[in-house]
Amino acid sequence: MSAVPEFGDGTLGRIETEVALLMRLGEATRRATGAREHRVLDRAAYVILRHLADAGPRNVSALAARLNLDGSTVTRQVTAMERAGLITRAADPRDGRGTVVSPTDAGLDRVAAVRAARTRLYGDILAGWSAEDRTALAGMLERLNSALAAHVQRR
């Protein structure tokens, strides 16, 4: 078991502060952005549809586990998304008793619109950064997300 870092470590304190600000400002930026594309999906629907688009059909339990969410939460979100025509349910080919969810064309279109709008937004925000700095940021965020995911999976 690793030692708990002391609060006196200035670098770790800065990281904690910057991650907290990143999460707050990321959501504030999404809400404040005037582009309609940013609001065609709520955050939960976007994350679920992005995962399904990348990974293919999943049952709700697998989806909840992958997204580190409670199964009942994902079930409610999936039900709302199904009513909105963003996903469909089908019999699980591995276990006919269960179902899997898949994105519809409308769901995929909305994900693509949000992703494109976010990409343009970050392009504008980071326009003054060098290509090397943008690449370094992408790599560091990927490493941070991997470390966070590994931490959650160990719990």
Q: Is residue 142 part of a domain?
A: yes
- Tokens standing for residue 138: 């992408």
pLDDT tens string 63-94: 998 888 888 889 999 999 999 999 999 988 88
Encode pLDDT of 98-128 as tens digits: 889 999 999 999 999 989 988 998 999 999 9
Give pTM, 2 decimals. 0.79
Tell me, yes or no, whether 19 lies in a domain: no
CATH code of the domain containing 131 = 1.10.10.10
Residue range of the domain that includes 141:
26-154
**Is 146 a domain residue?**
yes
Write out the two tokens for 137: 């940021």
Q: Evaluate whether residue 20 is within a structural domain.
A: no
The reply to whether 39 falls in a domain is yes
The reply to whether 77 falls in a domain is: yes
Separation of alpha carbons 116 and 6, rounded Å: 41
| Of 100, 98, 110, the residue nearest 45 (C-alpha) | 110
Q: Scan for tokens 């392009």, then name that residue.
A: 123
| Res 4: pLDDT | 56
CB 103 within 8 A of CB 85: no
Q: At 145, which amino acid appears?
A: N
Number of domains within the chain: 1
